[in-house]
Structure formats: structure tokens, C-alpha cells
Structure 1
């Protein structure tokens, strides 16, 4: 069964708005590219899918926009070619190498996890909360930014039950950010 990994940038005070932390740099983009390469597929909710597509979907011209700098290209190429699944009750179709996921979320994600492969990567705010509440996330990865945002959406706000985690990896960045990766501990009777 392939694991479902939740990854997101988060400030020290728990804000997970995409503009709240430090701006991307070469080191963080290399890190996120490597994390995406560990996944066979990406799982997005509608909002995250639309936001990511607007920034990282290769234009029909086949040429990346002028605003994109060279060190962003590996990330752009990786996310652009990745297989994507989009959970939405409002979209009727998707593009960008994506497939629409509708219906029972738990059942649909369990089926995706049962497919062979190395893993599924999920980002965003709302969908990961639903997946955490269903107990479907196998790994949590937070790139903790040395910033206090003071406002914005917070990490897993509304989680129904306490989830105990164990640290499995840690990586420090020159910027002062720290990536920490956790797995839920499984209680045995």
C-alpha cells in the first residue's frame, strides 16, 4: 500500500497560508522538488489544484513564463508532469494530467493508496484536515518557517481527535526554516 504524505509550509504560529512564510529560495525549491519526486501522484482539493495550476502548469506554448527563474524550473517540471487527483464536488472536469475524484472521500483515497507505487503527496488546508480526521495520512511533513504571521488559516484547525506523532526526519535550512517529518504512532492493544 502506498503511503499518503501531507506536506505544507507553516509559520511558527501555525499559519499555513502560502504567502505567510519566507519566499521560496533555491534550497527550499530543491527540497520540495525532491519531495514531489518521492510521490507517484499528487492529491489536491479544488482550491489548491487551481492555485498550483495557475502557477506551475506549463503554458500551451510549451515555454515557461519569463518570471520563472532557472532554479524554479526543476520544481515546475516535476509538478507539471506529475499525475494529479483532484477532490471536488464543484468541478466537472480537470486538466493538467489530473483526474477528478468525487463521491466518498475515504473510499476513493483508500483505493488510491492500494495502487502500487511509492506514495501520494497531498498539500493544502481543507482536504488534509478531512484526511487526518479519517485517519488516512501516513506521514506529516511541515516546513516550519521562522516567521510569526499573526493571522491566516492555521494548520489542521478543527481536527476532531488528538493524533500522536513520532519524528522520523529533520532537515535544517540556511534560512532558519526546519523541515520535520512525522508518522502517526499506532497504538496497540
Structure 2
């Protein structure tokens, strides 16, 4: 069974808006490339899919845009070529090496997890909340930014039930950010 890993940048006060944390640098981008390579496919909701496509899809010219730093290119190439599954009730079609995930969310994601492979990687805000509420996330990876945002969407806001987690790994960055990896705690009998 492929594990489903939820990964996101988050500020110390829980904000998950993509511009609220520390600006990406070569170290954090390398970290995200390594993490994405642990997955066979990415799972996005519509908003995250459209945001990522706008930023990281290779232009039709074939070259990367001038604004992109050299150390961002491996991330762009990794996400550009990755297989993607998109959950949306409003999109009629997708491209960018993507397919819409039809039917009931829990059943469709369970089918994806049953396929052989390294794993699935999910990002965003709304879709991970729905997946966490259904007990479908096998690993949580938070890159905690040394910033207090003071506003914005927060991590898994509205979660129906408490999920106890066990720390399985941590990595400190030069920027002061810390990546922490958790798995749902096993129930003790």
C-alpha cells in the first residue's frame, strides 16, 4: 500500500498561506525536491493544482522563465513532470500530466493508495483537511517557518477530531525553519 503524505509550509502560529513564511531558498527547495521524489504521484485540490500549474508548469517555449533562480529549476522540473491527480467538482478537465479523480473522495483515494509504488504526496489546505478527517493521511510533514503571520488560513482548521501524532523525523535549516515529520500515533490497547 502506498502511503499518503501531507506536506506543507506552516508558520509558527499555524498559517499555511503560501506567502506567509520565509521565502524559499536553495536548501528548502532541495528538501522539497527530495520529498516529492518519494512519491509516484501528487494529489491536489483545484485551488492548489491551479496555483502550482501557474507557477511551475514549463512554458511552451521550453525554457524556464527569467524570474526563476537556478536553484528553483530542479523543483520546477520535478513538479512539472510528476503525475498528478486532481480532486475537483468544478473542473471539467485537466492536463499538465494530470487526471481528475472521479467519484467518492475516500474511495478514490483508497484506490490510489492500494496501487503499488512509493507513495502519494498531497499539499494544500482544503483537500488535506477532508483526507485527515477520513483518516487517510499516513504521514504529516510540516516545514515550520520562523515567522508569526498573525492572520490567514491555518493548518487543518476545522478538523473534526483530534489526531495524535508521533514524531518520526526532524531537520533544521539554515534559515531557522524546521521540518518535522509525524505519523498518526498507534492506539494503545
When normalised by structure 1's length, the TM-score is: 0.99
Q: Which residue of structure 2 aligns with residue 163 of structure 1?
A: 163
Tell which deviates more after alignment, 58-67 or 10-19.
58-67
Aligned runs of 1:15-164 on 2, under 5 Å?
15-164=15-164
Deviation (angstroms), 1:102: 2.5
5+ long unaligned stretches in structure 1:
none
Structure 1 runs of 4+ aligned residues shifted over 4 Å read: none
5+ long unaligned stretches in structure 2:
none
Q: C-alpha root-mean-square deviation of aligned residues, in Å?
A: 0.6
Aligned residue for 2:144, secondary structure, equals strand
Deviation (angstroms), 1:62: 1.1
Q: Does 1:175 align with 2:175?
A: yes
**Distance in 2, Cα, partners of 1:114 & 1:102:** 16
When normalised by structure 2's length, the TM-score is: 0.99
Aligned length: 189
**Distance in 2, Cα, partners of 1:69 & 1:23:** 12
**Distance in 2, Cα, partners of 1:26 & 1:65:** 17
Deviation (angstroms), 1:188: 4.6
**Distance in 2, Cα, partners of 1:186 & 1:103:** 30
**Distance in 2, Cα, partners of 1:5 & 1:92:** 26
